[in-house]
Amino acid sequence: MHTLQQLQNALAPLQEGTVIFIDVDDTLITPKSKVFHWASPHRFLIDDLKKNRDKIPNFEEILSHWRLQRETMLVSEEWPKLINTLKEKHPVYALTKMETGPIGAIPSMEQWRYDELTHKGISFTPSFKGEVKSVLKDDLLQPCPITFSHGIFITGSYTKGDVIDIFLETQTPAQIVLIDDREEYLCDVKEACARHGIPFLGIFFKGMELIAGFPDPKVADFQKEHLLTHAEWLEDEKAAEYFLIQSYVQ
């Protein structure tokens, strides 16, 4: 599914008592820079960085600066309106896989994510079990707990399936819906719903494929290098300028 019209059609017949979860990164919002667009060979730059986190001594500084400095855009301009329409009939929550609590230069990932989405005009059903903020699972073996904050469920060190497991310990929705750009998370949540005997509808959302633009490969390499060595993210235009100046100097 690529467009919000298709999504809206798929969600129109949902029965009462359905709870909708929506992924954030590359489903609702995505970085503005062409480096992260669909056709870019560098689009997994941050994922690759996370995979190598143990080898990068200032990993948290690099990641948190990137998050604070990179600009974002809505994957579809129609998202805020669709979410508001869905909220009239169903609880609508975000389900996002990332660290919770403080990381590097970001004092609270919960607050950062909430601010970022609010600035894009997106807001979710604010409370869960009467609370706007709660810690849902925390054990000493994992560095980051699962948290809920203003409608946003964050996995911390756990999986999206683990979050749904916790959710279904106390809730019995008629159905769970997840809209996500990653198939593995849809499978994970599908399995969690099956464990609890709750019907599941997974929507594989490919809105990213409609965002056109290809980065200049030399500038993209420069952006990556600059991020790794200076823990600073340069947006495309600024990076192109710096890259040009640097090539004159050499």
Binding site for Mg ion (CB under 5 A): 23, 25-26, 181
d(CA 73, CA 22): 16
150: left (phi over 0), alpha (psi -120 to 50) or beta: left
Select 45 or 219, whichever has its Cβ closest to Mg ion: 45
Cα 16–chain centre separation:
27
In the complex, the smallest distance separating the C-beta of residue 24 from Mg ion, rounded to whole angstroms, is 7
Residue 89: what residue type? K
C-beta of 205 vs 233, nearer to Mg ion? 205
Pairing of strands 152-154, 146-149: antiparallel
Strands (E), 49-113: 72-74, 92-96
Closer by beta carbon to Mg ion, 23 or else 162: 23
CA distance 40 to 162: 32
- Structure tokens given for 86: 């869905």
188 vs 243, beta carbon nearer Mg ion: 188
Q: Could you give the CA distance from residue 190 to residue 21 in angstroms, rounded to a whole number?
A: 12
**In the complex, least distance from residue 51 CB atom to Mg ion, rounded to whole angstroms:** 16
Closest CB to Mg ion among residues 23, 110? 23
CB of 180 to Mg ion, least distance (A): 6
Q: How far is the CB of 57 from Mg ion (least distance, A)?
A: 27
Residue 128 DSSP one-character state:
B
- Shortest approach of Mg ion to residue 28 CB, angstroms? 9
> Residue 155 CB, nearest distance to Mg ion (Å)?
12
Q: Which residues have CB under 8 Å from 180's CB, separation 6+?
A: 22, 23, 27, 95, 160, 186, 189, 202, 203, 204, 205
**Residue with smaller CB distance to Mg ion, 23 or 99:** 23
For residue 65, the number of C-alpha atoms closer than 13 Å in the C-beta half-sphere is 15
